[in-house]
Amino acid sequence: RILVLDFGSQYTQLIARRVREIGVYCEILPWDVEETRVQGFAPSGVILSGGPESVHEETAQTPRIAAAVLDLAVPVLGICYGMQALAHQLGGVVEPSQTKEFGYAEVRARGHSVLLRDIEDRTNDEGHGLLDVWMSHGDRVAELPAGFKVIASTPAAPIAGIGDDDRGLYGLQFHPEVTHTRQGQRILERFVRSVCGCTGQWTAGNIIDDLVARVRETVGNQNVLLGLSGGVDSSVVAALLHKAIGDQLTCVFVDNGLLRLEEGDEVMRTFARHMGIRVIRVDAEARFLDALAGEADPEAKRKIIGRTFIEVFDEEAGKLDNIQWLAQGTIYPDVIESAGASTGKAHVIKSHHNVGGLPERMNLKLLEPLRELFKDEVRRIGVELGLPAEMVHRHPFPGPGLGVRILGEIHKEYADCLRLADAIFIAELRAAGWYEKTSQAFAVFLPVRSVGVTGDGRRYEWVVALRAVETVDFMTARWAHLPYEFLDHVSRRIINEIEGISRVVYDISGKPPATIEWE
């Protein structure tokens, strides 16, 4: 296992993901973590992330590598700030660079370090290996610490990489974890496997075995309650817990009337019928629609939906006795983002999973078996656990569901119309091979009447907008450039097949300035 020490880089999570992609378990801890946690983790190697600070700034208490880390005497790879901290603390000199480098750079690999040997994009006239990398630094290492050699250089940073093969200590001024560094994954793999000697045992099958064993040990013969939403995370928790503890698991699925077409039936088919999981389905459509009646404000609607969910879930939970645990689909990015990897102490629960005061009132303990996994790992173990691939690779769906996709006031008639339009759009995206190429796609109901004509008749009906975006992190997004023929086909189907819709428009706004959802 590998320890990633976070010095505040925006890429720290990416380092951890890359290591896990290599098949090796790793965790992120803040740079100022207590020594006992470092010793307790007992890593086979340590990666130091980049960070915004300068080691030569004497004024502030700049982040340092804890003595406990260096005392482990295991291989260390310092990236960017991590390299400078390593060089500085082992007796080298770091100074502000005359030429700052940000972005693409061509690095010459020097010598024959274990880390970079035979890894190159091409060679120059003298036969030296050249690498295309992503550089970002204002400081540079000016003098090597004892025992180190230069293993990479650029004209602006003659010491762009340092290495001591005997001790397995390395530093890189560039970022191997980003895809712009084309050989980055090979470099990380070289460090993790060849230098640290880790073998790739972090596979879906092993992860499941490990989680199952831990759940059994934690839960014993006690009973667990899970709010199942049909989303990826809670679905995988359900499948995992069922494998681990069978009938000790009870799921509650709340149908709020704002779900996609036939979603409730699908959830029951997959979990209750096929997998034999005990799922209590609560049909709460009328209750949600009553609570929402007359409310047009998006944030007020979100609050009503959240509050009603908690009430309903609470009531159902109250009917069950002998439950000791509440399971949640919290995943690693939730833990890092909400707590902040650099504090690592707080424990905040994903807000839409957080079912009110239930845990305290019913005296429930929290079970979060996916806390250490990234989304792609959750998907992989989901498939391995036998969930349908289609369910595991679904686009994200907001907690308030169609409640934020029906603009303004919500009426059942609108929701029914929208469900049909959305189902046609999604089915056509799948058929045309566009579903996988987009990150999120859906229909939005606009409560605007528009005139149309069908045959000899005049229609005066509602408008539906289609939205499809491509994004990696959902913070920024590009509208998907779907082919005109495809949009034409979807539009015809929606208008012809759905009574009540006479016009379809396509949303061509990026995020920013628009958001992905319309409300």
Question: Smallest distance, Å, CB 421 to ligand XMP?
Answer: 17
Q: Please, which residue, 25 or 445, has the CB nearer to ligand XMP?
A: 445
Q: Please, which residue, 454 or 515, has the CB nearer to ligand XMP?
A: 515
Residue count of the chain: 519
Question: Smallest distance, Å, CB 469 to ligand XMP?
Answer: 9
Burial of 19 (0-12, 13-18, 19+ CB in 10 A): buried
Query: Beta 93-109 vs 129-143: how paired, if at all?
Result: antiparallel
Instruction: Say which of 175, 196, 198, 251 is annotated catalytic.
Output: 175
Residue list, annotated binding site for ATP: 229-235
Question: Smallest distance, Å, CB 303 to ligand XMP?
Answer: 10
Query: Beta 278-283 vs 457-470: how paired, if at all?
Result: unpaired
Task: Show the tokens assigned to 25.
Answer: 């378990």
Q: Please, which residue, 23 or 510, has the CB nearer to ligand XMP?
A: 510
Task: Show the tokens assigned to 308.
Answer: 């009603």
Which residues are CB-contacts of 84 (< 8 A; sequence separation ≥ 6)? 54, 55, 78, 94, 137, 139, 140, 141, 171
- 136 vs 80, 176, 188, 267, 473, CA distance in Å? 7, 11, 18, 47, 21
Q: Please, which residue, 373 or 444, has the CB nearer to ligand XMP?
A: 444
**Can you name the residues that pair with 477 across neighbouring β-strands?**
511
CA dihedral 446, 448, 450, 455 (to 10 degrees): 60
Long-range CB contacts (< 8 A, 24+ apart) of 17-21? 17/374, 17/376, 18/176, 18/177, 18/184, 18/185, 18/188, 19/47, 19/188, 19/192, 20/202, 20/374, 20/377, 21/185
- 324 vs 59, 161, 183, 316, 431, CA distance in Å? 52, 53, 49, 15, 45
Question: Smallest distance, Å, CB 458 to ligand XMP?
Answer: 35
Instruction: Say which of 177, 316, 368, 461 is annotated catalytic.
Output: 177
**Is 48:2 a contact under the CB 8 Å cutoff?**
no
Question: Smallest distance, Å, CB 442 to ligand XMP?
Answer: 8
Q: Catalytic: 177?
A: yes
Cα 122 from Cα 41, distance rounded (Å): 39
Question: Smallest distance, Å, CB 440 to ligand XMP?
Answer: 5
Question: Smallest distance, Å, CB 146 to ligand XMP?
Answer: 51
Q: Catalytic: 143?
A: no
Q: Please, which residue, 180 or 352, has the CB nearer to ligand XMP?
A: 352
Instruction: Say which of 80, 196, 251, 417 is annotated catalytic.
Output: 80
**Can you name the residues that pair with 496 across neighbouring β-strands?**
none
Cα 80 from Cα 319, distance rounded (Å): 56
Q: Please, which residue, 439 or 502, has the CB nearer to ligand XMP?
A: 439
Residue list, annotated binding site: 229-235
**Is 196:219 a contact under the CB 8 Å cutoff?**
no
Binding site for ligand XMP (CB under 6 A): 302, 352, 396, 398-400, 440, 474, 511, 515-517
Q: Please, which residue, 39 or 515, has the CB nearer to ligand XMP?
A: 515
Q: Catalytic: 251?
A: no
What does DSSP assign to residue 200? -
Q: Please, which residue, 190 or 405, has the CB nearer to ligand XMP?
A: 405
Nearest to 69 by CA among 54, 81, 85: 85
Cα 79 from Cα 507, distance rounded (Å): 41
CB atoms within 10 A of CB 298: 16
Question: Smallest distance, Å, CB 396 to ligand XMP?
Answer: 4
Cα 76 from Cα 169, distance rounded (Å): 5
Question: Smallest distance, Å, CB 375 to ligand XMP?
Answer: 12
Q: Please, which residue, 104 or 474, has the CB nearer to ligand XMP?
A: 474
**Is 235:243 a contact under the CB 8 Å cutoff?**
no
What does DSSP assign to residue 511? B
Cα 114 from Cα 60, distance rounded (Å): 35
Cite the active site residues.
80, 175, 177
